[in-house]
Amino acid sequence: SQQGEEDPQALSIQEGENATMNCSYKTSINNLQWYRQNSGRGLVHLILIRSNEREKHSGRLRVTLDTSKKSSSLLITASRAADTASYFCATGFAGGTSYGKLTFGQGTILTVHP
């Protein structure tokens, strides 16, 4: 079963607007990562936030993590048409048999209209 659940499943906005995607998970994690996938391509890593971090920035991306609520959000500010893609959260676990493995959510399809 999927560890991460994302919402919304699809998001349609105008260029210049902000886009917010959310991810919830069920069990304790070591880190949470966000990836982007353009149509027909492999996934590209965007940002990693560790379980002891609450917020992280990278360019126009802002990620928050709330371990008490088992949730994360990805904010893309001042969106561009080139941001159109699917966005996935992935959770990494602390150890045992789950060490090193990521579990991906089903993704949010973001469409940014010019």
Partner 1 sequence: IAGITQAPTSQILAAGRRMTLRCTQDMRHNAMYWYRQDLGLGLRLIHYSNTAGTTGKGEVPDGYSVSRANTDDFPLTLASAVPSQTSVYFCASSERGNNEQFFGPGTRLTVL
Residues that bind partner 1 (CB under 8 A): 2, 30-31, 33, 35, 40-45, 48, 88, 90, 92-93, 97, 99-107
Q: Identify which of residues 13 and 102 has a Cβ nearer to partner 1 in the complex.
A: 102
The Cα–Cα gap between 27 and 1 comes to 12
Q: Give which of 106, 75, 76, 101 is closest to 89, Cα–Cα.
A: 106
Q: Identify which of residues 67 and 106 has a Cβ nearer to partner 1 in the complex.
A: 106
Q: Which two tokens stand for residue 102?
A: 């990521």
- β-pairing verdict for 61-66 and 10-14: unpaired
Q: Name residue, tokens 């998970």.
A: 25
The CB-of-62 to partner 1 minimum distance in angstroms stands at 18
The CB-of-49 to partner 1 minimum distance in angstroms stands at 11
Q: Identify which of residues 2 and 12 has a Cβ nearer to partner 1 in the complex.
A: 2
Q: Name residue, tokens 């079963």.
A: 1
Q: Identify which of residues 15 and 30 has a Cβ nearer to partner 1 in the complex.
A: 30
The CB-of-33 to partner 1 minimum distance in angstroms stands at 6
CB atoms within 10 A of CB 60: 14
The CB-of-99 to partner 1 minimum distance in angstroms stands at 5
Residue 61, helix vs strand vs coil:
strand
